[in-house]
Chain A
Amino acid sequence: MPDFTDKLRPSQPDGPSTLAKEREQSNISTEELGKHLLSSDGFLERQARILPILQQEEILSKTKQQNLSRPERFKLGLVRAKLLRRLSDKYKWSHDDYKMAEYLVDDVSPYFLHMEMFITTIREQASEEQRAYWVPLIESWKIIGAYAQTELGHGSNVRGLELEARWDSQTKEFVIHSPTLTASKWWNGSLGRVANHAIVVAQLLLPEPDSDRFVSHGPHPFIVQVRDMKTHLPLEGIVVGDIGPKYGYITMDNAYMLFDHCRVPHSALLSRYSNVNPETGLYTKPAQPAVVYGSLTYVRANIVHHARLVLARAVTVATRYTTVRRQFQDRDGDKRGPELSVLDYPTVQIRILPLLATTFALHYTGQAMRTVYQNAREDIEKGDFKSLAYMHSMSSGLKSLCTMLAADGIESCRRAMGGHGFGGGSGLIQLNNDYLSKPTVEGDNWMITQQVAGYLIKKMGAAVEGEGKGGDEMDARFRAFAREKHAGGLSWGHDILNSDRDIVKSFELRATALAYDAYEQRVIKKKDWNSLLIQLHKLSRAQSQSIMVTTFFEALSADKTLSASIKTILWDLYRLFALNTMENEGYDFFRFSAISQSDLDALPTRIQDLMSRIRPHAVKLVDSWMIPDYLLDSGGNSALGRYDGRVYEDLFNRAHRLNPLNRITFNPNYWEDEIVKGSGVEWSEILSKL
């Protein structure tokens, strides 16, 4: 329907000309940098291949999804997930291809747990025989599975789970039972409406020899059928359903589930590492108890690696929009010129550019963590468990820090965009809603930092007690610190403003000193664990920051391929990330002489200098993350982050032409019961739906 608004244009200079100028003023090659970041595992090639296939499908268009009710939105999510699986067959996609499609569509798939934790757990924890039986069923999707660990009353504390699996030596079965309401499984993805099988983690209860008492052997995984294969209704004695609306994850059917004395066969217990002898009822212990956390570590490693692209998306939207958006003239400049791009304000830069630098830091950390995971995995397969502790602790700390950086970063980007950041057109709403689950899932960010601290305290203890040889780089550093500390001479003098390597050393020193502090408090002074928790959290954070800075530095130092222009800007990004982190926690660095007072005072000016060096390249740098407009469109449209800068045209188009609310006319008079003019939507109808 044509109207007078069709001929209206945004005021000048408009988005496209602004972004064109931004792209002209930087000499870096987005193609080269994009390849450097994203081509090693075929990511870019894959993205280019999958994207056009998805864009042909009407049901995968995102423009109106934000308006739907929860049941309708869930249905749409399931329809899309089904379609993706069919496309996968049609185009013979690999698993990575499929993951790419899922990433681009950007719905949390209701099949997610089937494809991740369900099959991973079977692969890692089922016996050979069990694997032979279940893996083909799962891979062919003859059964759909979920992973049910957390309960209504228990999250991170796996040992506290209440669901019971009691061995019945008469029938050679396990009896799965929920003794309390808090034993209800809770939050388990894909289980609420979709799965018909689940890995259920329950306390293994075995009869004590020569007595009628049962003893718990701790939580163990069982594979259990939960719904009928024909009717899809819950089996007898099982109550299962979706837990209701959430902050995000609208297309995921997180579940509750209760059992009333349900019997499962002996073979339900996944028995690669631990088993119950069906004849004697005796328990065989796992070779290494920590191994049951293996898949959790894998999930955490992936969360860290994924964080770079999540944050890059938010930073892309914010950077492009804050260059297009103009507000106020420069106070010292020509008052009659156009208003300034918002990104020219240091108060906006300080919110966005350090996050831009963080996307690169996350990238290199993610790469490093994957390598560590793969190496550790290989060791474990060979029966060597010594890298497990390091990997577990590193993954805990980094998961905590990286998800916090990404989640808070998305929200900072959204707010830096002012009012429009709150609108559906920002493209950051579903991203924020979905991603904010990350700081609390797979181990609460605050709780899991204890694991890192515990590990470091132990290492420091060994160093202090002079176990003087071998070990890794950290052991050596800890020993050196303990020696110096003992000798009473602590002067380090890192030149953080002039040496990139000294920045690394400064971070290491602060983390080491905090580790020593924690060791001293806990081991020497015997302080309560509880009274130290805040300090331990800081220690974990410092250690993880140190890892991020180190991996960033090492990746840039080792690189021999990048062009000089890119290398220069990457070093600036490294410095911005490190020095900005340092400034935020300045007091800690100062306290341990990891920074001098004069350097501390100089930091704000140095950070501002770095930002003004990076500023001209900002648009090109986000372009290099190669995030297609289709993906930025998360949750129905990023008008603000469009590559072409047509921000205002797009916002208006969506409000004016795509908004279903504008198709109904309200009756605004409070004394009349009619709500929608002429449609018969009355008071009574609204009430009847309640």
Chain B
Amino acid sequence: MPSPTPEWVKALKPSGPQGSELLQQERAQSNVNVEKLSELLHTKETLKRQESLLALLQPEKVFDKSQNHTLGRVERLQRSLAKAKRLQQLSEQHKWSMEELHAANELIGEPTPYGLHASMFLVTLREQGTPEQHKLFLERAQKYEIIGCYAQTELGHGSNVRGLETTATWNSSDKTFTINSPTLTASKWWIGSLGRTANHAVVMAQLFIDGKNYGPHPFVVQVRDLQTHQPLENVYVGDIGPKFGYNTMDNGFLLFNNVKVPHVNMLARFSSIDKNTNAYSRPALPSLVFGTLTWVRSNIVLQAGGVLARGVTIATRYCAVRRQFQDRDADAHAGENQVLNYKMVQVRLLPLLASMYALHFTGRGMMRLYEENQSRMKAANSPGQDSRGAGPEELRAGANLLADLHATSCGLKALASTTAGEGLEVCRRACGGHGYSSYSGIGPWYSDYLPTLTWEGDNYMLTQQVARYLLKSARAVLAGKPAGNDTSQILQTYLDRRDKGASFDVLEEDKDIVAAFAWRTAHLTFEALKHRDAEQRSWNSLLVDFWRLSTAHSQYLVVKNFYDAVSSPELSSALDPETKALMHQLFRLYALHTLEREAAEFFSSGAVTVRQITLTRTTAVMNLLDEIRPHAVRLVDSWAIPDWQLDSSLGRYDGKVYEDLFRRASQENPVNDLTFDPYPWNSALLKNEPKSKL
């Protein structure tokens, strides 16, 4: 236990002005209606739910966060399982919905070993299982009688699902499948919740019937004994070891030595083997399988806004409290300047503040598109049975929208998670030295978030899908097919106006900004098409161009979604005119800052002139920073992230930054319980420990 704090230390205050006073001033100088804006972002119900969950969780000792960053890996995971258990108990006791459980998990702020059971295992069983399989697996899984995970990626294979090496061979003699790992690289790897917790797994394996490979399919496989929790015979399973972050999750490896599972264990809603004839039937609607992934990605985009908001909230509040140097032009007796007043701090933080709003609104837009698509597909399906499928026209309509959404979702997932991940690091650095402390709350959060940049498809690999889709759309437009969706429309517009020039007034007209982004995307698309079709360049040599194209397209989509959101009647009716105007300024800052950073592409596509870029940089962006600056603290307050969730000394709502840093260092830090012997030649390591440790 730490030694008691001496009275003279307790009596010390930070030098004035106090953090609490500075934040009060910040809040006083802006009249953004925080409550209204919060409700617009999150809805009233969500905010209320957050409040009641917080009241429930915070007093529970098991959810204490103070030692999260000092524990060793083994102890940390034990603690994490205890948290997961308690959450599930509370969930049962209070009859939480999925959303409530999810919200509770968000407040806890770290993944738990039940994570993949509660998400991918249940979702896959539900979406890909037959009614018989639902009874057999899903119902028990929902009661946690069996605990599962989703085992797809392997030691040697990530994004390329077709390259998986685990096999499932059909045995017609005894109606079973043999699951096997033929090589070391076939080992399942990175599988969340599998390392120490799950007793079942949905295993993706190459299906072989009569020596013929039918591609990867999902199988439910029990991997541990339900009593002893030891691995079953010929199953080799364990945790893959410490990681950059995510250390409260037991990501696992898994190898099979010819393990047999019964016929019913292949999830058979979309494809199956007839037990008697050994005949394989094809997936009815393969696009539905991609639907899940698309939904996951839309979610990543929506969440990216919230993820970034944590970093921006912390950095903005801290930069308002932290003061450094006098203003060079101010008189010599002035106090030190708030760091947030420095232009080079503003230029790092305020565009990120705009980005978190941009991503939030874009995620919302995508979810809406996804839901529209689901209902169209359902409508297309509804006349017949599930297995019969729809007529060709309806199918194409659905597939067309799905293709648009799928291409959209993977590009945006890449852009959004990169923006959030890199944005967090920018926030951490903007906090100066203290950003490096775990008590800043940014570093640990960043480490846990980083895998999002590579999972569900590596961000760089994903960009190829966007490019492929854009090239296809461009060919269709050139062939004179009618422009049915937004993508074809912007390509068509470009073709129509190409010879007249663009002349967008990006400095004055918001909708011209959107048009300039569309123009640049269209220009890059036709450039890439020229390289590929006319010049016959290899796909591989164009990957960098494709990556640029995908980024440009995704930035266009964010700008467009942001613009649609700020001009929507929904927003107008929810906000007072002043706050609404501020939303427009955030839109402009996001868009113009992006434009300025990508200046060369905007210029060479002819979307804007050099003069416009110079004015954007030297005048427009600078003015926007000045206009938004006074509202920065209220704009992050509106995100309504509770202190307990932020878990940050620097980002506290009340601004008591230094008191809290000092308290945690001196009272919550187990290293200070140790008194060392500092001399190399003395054998004792600790003063009260006589024996040598060397």
Contact = CB atoms under 8 A, between A and B. Distances in A.
B435 to A, nearest CB: 7
Nearest to A70: B70
A394 interface: no
Interface size on B, as a range, is: 35 or more
B436 A528 contact: no
Interface string A429-459: 1001000110111001111000000000000
Contact of B599 (A233, A249, A587, A651): A587
B614 to A, nearest CB: 7
Interface string A60-89: 000000111111101100110111011000
Contact of A184 (B347, B539, B543, B662): B662
A244 B693 contact: no
Contacts of A668: 81, 113, 147, 197-199, 229
A662 B251 CA distance: 12
Contacts of A244: 69-70, 437-439, 664-665, 668-669, 671
A419 B432 contact: no
A590 interface: yes
A244 B245 CA distance: 18
Interface string A579-602: 000000011001100000100110
A332 B540 contact: yes
Nearest to B614: A591
A150 B73 contact: no
A655 B253 contact: yes
A144 B682 CA distance: 13
B483 interface: no
Interface residues of A, number: 153
A532 B245 CA distance: 38
Give the residue among A69, A330, A671, A672 with the most B Cβ atoms within 10 A: A69
A531 B241 contact: no
B666 interface: yes
Contact of B14 (A182, A192, A340, A591): A182
Nearest to B540: A330
Nearest to A84: B680
A318 to B, nearest CB: 13
Given A8-B255, A232-B687, A529-B327, A71 B540 contact: no
B435 A69 contact: no
Given A181-B662, A243-B437, A600-B600, A156 B81 contact: no
Interface in B667-694: 668-681, 685, 687, 693-694
Interface string A179-194: 1111110110000111
Contact of A655 (B185, B239, B539): B239
Nearest to A526: B329
A256 B666 contact: yes
Contact of B600 (A331, A347, A586): A586
B216 to A, nearest CB: 15
A677 B229 contact: yes
B97 interface: no
Contacts of A260: 6, 8-9
B507 to A, nearest CB: 17
B156 interface: yes
A680 interface: no
Interface in B321-337: 322-325, 327-329, 336
B570 to A, nearest CB: 35
A86 to B, nearest CB: 6
B573 to A, nearest CB: 37
B56 interface: no
Contacts of B115: none
B343 interface: yes
Nearest to A82: B680
A648 interface: yes
Interface in B55-75: 61-62, 64, 66-67, 69-75
A439 B253 contact: no
Contacts of A8: 181, 183-184, 186-187, 255
B433 A155 contact: yes
A67 B73 contact: yes
B190 interface: yes
Contacts of B71: 69-70
A608 interface: yes
Interface string B169-196: 0000000000001111111011000011
B675 A233 contact: yes
A322 B600 CA distance: 31
26 contacts: A3-B236, A5-B236, A10-B185, A67-B242, A68-B73, A69-B71, A71-B671, A82-B679, A82-B694, A156-B324, A193-B674, A247-B428, A327-B157, A327-B163, A339-B163, A411-B425, A418-B454, A444-B433, A529-B328, A530-B328, A600-B604, A608-B544, A654-B241, A660-B74, A666-B78, A668-B147
Given A260-B8, A666-B113, A677-B229, 13 more contacts: A10-B156, A10-B183, A160-B325, A181-B14, A241-B669, A244-B438, A244-B439, A346-B544, A347-B544, A661-B195, A661-B239, A667-B229, A690-B61
Closest 3 CB pairs of A and B: A69-B72, A85-B680, A245-B69
